[in-house]
Amino acid sequence: MTSRKYSPDSVPPSAGENPSEDKTPPIHSLKELITHVTGRGPASDLPAEDSGISDPLPFPFIAIVGQMEMKLALTLSLINPNIGGVLLIGPRGTGKTTAVRSLLDLLPEVRRSKCVYGCMPEDIESGGIDAVCPDCAKKYAEGESLTVTEKSHLIELPLNATLDDVVGGFDERARIHDRLRLKRGILAQADQSVLYVDEVNLLQNEIVDALLDAAAMGSYTVRRGPLSATYRSRFTLIGSMNPEEGNLRPQIMDRFGLRIIVHGLTETKERLAAYRRVHEYLENRRSFIQRFTPEIRITREEIQLTRDRLKEISLPDKTAQAGIHLIQQLGIESLRAEITLFETARAYTAADGRTQATLEDLRTVAPMALRLRKSEFTMNYLKQRQQDDQELAKTLDKFLSETK
């Protein structure tokens, strides 16, 4: 467990659509999305100054036309954070950013610490009473809850963010009063929430490094002069990019669980339906959103219920072994492939109302979980090293034989 340093000076302050022309099959709930994918037929508080505030009236997720794989991947990432997030790759204007921001109305509830240090009951369970701050230790002894249940957040990391914006730094407002104090960065604000990075391939290298460290450890430490504070950073990372604007560093590509290739809509009726919905949304956002409010509520409740019963989902050995064999056949080296594949299959199984993942579940989610994982450079490098080892072994055998 990462230790935390407690210092008072280092505490941060706490026109309407034409129904006859929209022929796209409506998706009214998570269950209907799963049913569509399987082809079974129709289904019977952040501080005010924090960065990355999402659109308070986003385009409804339910109203997005087509793009079933993208919608399924984003939904499953909300159900199971262990999937490792989602990377959306595609040209401009294909709805990537719109889809992510539309998750705002679907975000589940999570348990958050009431303490500015992020003290949680599990800290005491694993590290003893000294693992939390004195105030929380007292509350725990008195039987008072250390957590509160609230809706998770959608935090956006802007491209122009500085390193201090991302990880945290000196609180300039406190300096005015001759005090030294640290303030939380965007990574800490995103704890148990969704962190969205648009144009992720254009991030500065130092920001990428900080992001990688925080995502890998689930926490990070900020040191500024005499001050030090450790913050939790257990977030679901979602990124989007246009490949013609540059490649993504392999290190951060590996951190995304699901990889979705987002294409433009190809059917004329779908493109017309998408236009009409966007037109109505721009004409009167509140009226348009109101049309989908019941479906949004149902989907949000389904996501929460599915998330809560995820621990009941099992992965039989036969299914797991088949998945590993598939990964080996594809020549994928990273063990994150198994983690993503199996955790996605579990989330998909839970969303479909079952308790045991099957081979068909793996077949459904494998394209999302395993694409863009095979590295030709790595394969060639390892092959060359294997040849070097074989030559070395032959030389050693010959040398030892001649020596004898």
Q: To which residue do tokens 């060359």 refer?
A: 384
Is 336 tagged catalytic?
yes
Task: From 56, 55, 12, select the one nearest 185 (Cα to Cα).
Answer: 12
Calculated CA dihedral for residues 295, 296, 300, 301, nearest 10 degrees: -40
- Structure token digits, residue 42: 């129709």
The C-alpha angle with vertex 171 and arms to 167 and 177, in degrees rounded to 5, equals 170
From 336, 363, 373, 385, active-site residue: 336
Q: Compute CA distances 292 → 16, 59, 60, whole Å.
A: 14, 10, 7
Pairing of strands 154-156, 109-113: unpaired
Its sign, for the CA torsion 137, 138, 144, 149, is negative
Q: How far apart are CA 309 and CA 298, in angstroms?
A: 17
Beta strands per DSSP E along 103-243:
109-113, 147-151, 154-156, 168-170, 182-184, 194-198, 219-224, 227-232, 236-241
- Structure token digits, residue 18: 């034409």
Cβ within 8 Å of residue 112, ≥6 positions away: 147, 148, 149, 150, 191, 192
Q: To which residue do tokens 């799963």 refer?
A: 34
Q: CB of 160 within 8 A of CB of 201? A: no
Annotated catalytic sites, by residue? 336
